[in-house]
Amino acid sequence: MALPALISGGSAVVADLETLAEQAADFAGAAIAENTRLAYRKAFRTFTTWCGETGLGPMPAAPMTVGLYLTHLATAGRTVSTMEQALAALAFVHRQAGEGFDTKHPAIANTFAGIKRTIGTAKMGKAPLVADDIRAMLATVPSSTVAGLRDRALILLGFASALRRSELMGLDLARIGTGTGYIELTSQGILVHLVRSKTDQEGQGQMVGVARGRNMATCPVRAVQAWMQASAASAGAPLFRSVNRHGRAGALRLSDRAAVDMLKRVAAAAGIDPDRVAGHSLRSGHATTAAQAGAAEDTIQRQLRHKKADTTRGYIRRATVFDGSSSAALGL
């Protein structure tokens, strides 16, 4: 961050101001969630690489350059959501640099509108893992090994809590940890304390309740307790950790990628197409299963912590598509 012009003060004042400038830059970078920042960094790097190949300037990016880039993404088969993320990344980087970026400029807005009308905005999406899928998957995961106990706990807590993947994998066993939040075992179940999340980027904190299950084999609370006991967990350690080939739980947090790989592997063993499974499948599966069971829309919205009801409806549309369908009245 560049320093403003100084009136007087000398080297000591300059050093103090430089320190403050560095801290200000850190705070500015913390204005968005870590996962969002990483996604923006990747999207901007892809844009600058394309600019280098075409000889166009990336900063500040001319509206015509952005329009051409969107056209490039469209002809390369990229989705509308990928283009939306690219625009968001470019806007963020330009703001941070003090540069203007007008997404309403005709060279950008008209090009993007034409792309959306041409290729459509429908998303294929990943398949939700509903309750029957979860039971089938658990049937393939042994409860006699440490790794199996971890995987069962991860699947059940992820499904029952409807946490985002980054939130789930960032959980610690106590507040003294450095993750996205921590868990607290209560008489009613598990209370998940989220220190920071996608919809709470200022870190005010959110709580998510996970009730005890009726069935011992599928109770998320029992599964987490069994994993904690088998892994000899210590306060403040990551909840989900790696397990070595000797069956011992390590100290390192299990990565998002490793968790997704596990879900795909277990899904395949249960006869579910692994290509339609992602970390998000547990969260969307919770919403779908709850809607099919008759849970109220606002109840599901609170659990998923969506700010807008429309977002929740997008999750449960698959579960309610046959509700009131006139095809049932055709007498076929």
- Among 109-118, 171-180, 211-220, the least confident range: 171-180
Q: pLDDT tens digits for 6-15?
A: 444 544 444 5
Mean pLDDT of the chain: 79
Radius of gyration for the alpha carbons in the chain, expressed in angstroms and rounded: 24
Of the two residues 10 and 183, the one the predictor is more confident about is 183
Q: pTM score, two decimals?
A: 0.63
Domains, the chain, in order of start with CATH, read 11-119 (1.10.150.130), 131-320 (1.10.443.10)
pLDDT interval class at 158 (50, 70, 90): very high
How many of the other CB atoms lie within 10 Å of CB of 65?
20
- For the segment 164-185, the average pLDDT, to the nearest whole number, is 82
- 303 is written with which tokens? 């659990």
Is the pLDDT reported for residue 152 higher than 90? yes
Tell me the percentage of the chain whose pLDDT exceeds 90: 8
pLDDT interval class at 236 (50, 70, 90): confident
Measure the CA–CA gap between 90 and 96, rounded to whole angstroms. Answer: 10
- Among 85-89, 277-281, 292-296, 328-332, the least confident range: 328-332
Q: Residue 274 is which amino acid?
A: P
Tell me the percentage of the chain whose pLDDT exceeds 70: 77
Of the two residues 139 and 39, the one the predictor is more confident about is 139
Three-class SS of the chain = CCCCCCCCCCHHHHHHHHHHHHHHHHHHHCCCCHHHHHHHHHHHHHHHHHHHHHCCCCCCCCHHHHHHHHHHHHHCCCCHHHHHHHHHHHHHHHHHCCCCCCCCCHHHHHHHHHHHHHHCCCCCCCCCCCHHHHHHHHCCCCCCCHHHHHHHHHHHHHHHHCCCHHHHHCEECCCCCCCCEEEEECCCEEEEEECCECCECCCCCEEEEEECCCCHHHCHHHHHHHHHHHCCCCCCCECCEEECCCCCEEEEECCHHHHHHHHHHHHHHCCCCHHHCCCHHHHHHHHHHHHHCCCCHHHHHHHHCCCCHHHHHHHHHHHHCCCCCHHHHCCC
From residue 151, alpha-carbon distances to 32, 180, 198, 220, 275 in Å are: 30, 20, 25, 11, 19
Q: Angle of helix 80-96 relative to helix 106-119, nearest 10 degrees? A: 160
Cα diameter, the chain: 89
